[in-house]
Amino acid sequence: MLLEVKNLRTEFKLKRGTVRAVDDVSFTIDKGEILAIVGESGSGKSVTSLSLMGLIQKPGGVAGGEILFKSQDLSKLSQKELQEIRGNKISMIFQEPMTSLNPVWRIKDQIMENIMTHMKMSKKEALARTVEMLDTVGIPSPAERANDYPHQMSGGMRQRVMTAMALSCEPDLLIADEPTTALDVTIQAQILELLYQMREKFNMAVLLITHDLGVVYEAADRVIVMYCGKIVEEADVKTLFEQPQHPYTVGLLQSIPQIDNESDEHLFMIKGMVPNPLHMPPGCSFSDRCDRCMERCTKEMPELQEINGHKVRCFLYDKAEEGELSAK
């Protein structure tokens, strides 16, 4: 087991109250595995990933749980100790390739900074490695492009640069937070393909965060569905797409645009909006939007239950009543 997150809780202490952005989240990632986290915007995906890295800024912070990375609890480490892991053992790429690179530094300096922070290398060696990494991620004439500033590159190229930087110290885990969201569809596919290749090449695990189930289907081995800071469903990709159980997951799947569907039927949308984190509905957080909401749902929060590796948090599948996972 490469990463084992247990009961992670991350909170933001605001003047108007405490927002629990990540609530009792547990999951594991194996070596070389691609685990996807999906959910609408605001469901706590980014906060989860930043929590792993110890990068939650005030007024937020990890309020509980364990983050066992190679059996070491990251949530107990000092910032100094975390710095040795960030960019080295665990690295990250972000949604906005346009703004995630420092606009006033040449890209080679940005990548070399990462390398020289973690590897004992001379400037010359670090530069050679930088060029090699740029080549690996498919940047043409990497030695010249290394001298470019970010604004001289396209979005797709910048995301390749981010990837080269993140992989430059051969991490065990790459966290990719919506790496394709800001890109054109064709470029999206290229970047996903790149992540896939890099996973093979470096045999690293990937935590792929996205709100796009299409991306999940393309790339992931296993999927976690998050809603309002909680995991509501977890399964391997095939199971999740063939037998989704949580009403939220069903809704998400129905709202994927189908290319072969040429009728001008309106795309399905889950009704309503993600609740304000300061005013969560009592009981199940999805109850105010759920078609199958029952009386009990508005009073109690269902537990995450597991049957045969498929986890779901919904009273429709209550083990206590049914003894077995099955839709009513």
Site string for ligand SF4, 226-265 (x = CB under 6 A): --------------------xx------------------
Q: Which residues are 76's β-sheet partners?
A: none
* List of residues contacting Mg ion (CB under 5 A): 46
Written as one letter, the residue type at 234 is E
Cα 308–chain centre separation = 24
| The only residue of 286, 310, 311, 325 in contact with ligand SF4, by rule CB under 6 A | 286
| C-beta of 12 vs 69, nearer to ligand ADP | 12
| The only residue of 98, 294, 304, 307 in contact with ligand SF4, by rule CB under 6 A | 294
| The only residue of 4, 292, 304, 305 in contact with ligand SF4, by rule CB under 6 A | 292
- Nearest-approach distance from CB 45 to ligand ADP, in angstroms: 3
| 82: contact with ligand SF4 by CB under 6 A | no
| 72: contact with other proteins by CB under 8 A | no
Site string for ligand ADP, 273-312 (x = CB under 6 A): ----x-----------------------------------
Closest to 217 in 3D by CA, of 260, 159, 256, 267? 256
| The only residue of 21, 85, 112, 192 in contact with ligand ADP, by rule CB under 6 A | 21
Angstrom distance (rounded) from CA 210 to CA 222: 13
| C-beta of 49 vs 136, nearer to other proteins | 49
- Asked if residues 146 and 128 have their Cβ atoms less than 8 Å apart, the reply is no
132 vs 56, 118, 194, CA distance in Å? 32, 17, 15
Report the run of H or E that residue 183 belongs to, with start and end: none
- Nearest-approach distance from CB 246 to other proteins, in angstroms: 31
Q: Which distant-in-sequence residues (6+ apart) come within 8 Å of 78 by Cβ? A: none
**16: helix, strand or coil:** coil
| The only residue of 71, 78, 79, 276 in contact with other proteins, by rule CB under 8 A | 79
Q: Which stretch binds other proteins (CB under 8 A): 66-74, 76-84, 248-256, 266-274?
A: 76-84
| 302: contact with ligand SF4 by CB under 6 A | yes
How many residues does the structure list for the chain? Answer: 328
CB atoms within 10 A of CB 84: 12
| 191: contact with ligand SF4 by CB under 6 A | no
DSSP code of 246? Answer: S
| C-beta of 12 vs 248, nearer to ligand SF4 | 248
Angstrom distance (rounded) from CA 22 to CA 203: 29
- Asked if residues 56 and 8 have their Cβ atoms less than 8 Å apart, the reply is no
Take residue 44 and report the two structure tokens written for it: 């706590």
Residue 1 interaction partner, one of Mg ion, ligand ADP, ligand SF4, none, beta carbon < 5-8 Å per kind: none
Site string for other proteins, 114-143 (x = CB under 8 A): x--xx-------------------------
- Nearest-approach distance from CB 320 to ligand ADP, in angstroms: 30
Beta strand spans in the chain (E): 3-14, 17-29, 34-38, 60-69, 72-73, 90-93, 173-177, 205-210, 222-227, 230-236, 305-307, 310-312
| The only residue of 18, 40, 55, 61 in contact with other proteins, by rule CB under 8 A | 55
DSSP code of 121? Answer: -
Q: Which stretch binds ligand SF4 (CB under 6 A): 15-23, 100-108, 162-170, 281-289?
A: 281-289
Please give the backbone phi and psi of residue 225, each rounded to the nearest 5 degrees, phi first: -105, 125
Take residue 78 and report the two structure tokens written for it: 């000092």
Q: Which distant-in-sequence residues (6+ apart) come within 8 Å of 35 by Cβ? A: 27, 29, 205, 206, 207, 208, 220, 221, 222, 223, 224
Residues found near ligand ADP in the complex (CB under 6 A): 12, 14, 19, 21, 39, 41-47, 60, 277
Residues found near other proteins in the complex (CB under 8 A): 50, 53, 55, 79, 82-88, 91-92, 94, 96, 99-106, 113-114, 117-118, 149, 151, 162, 165
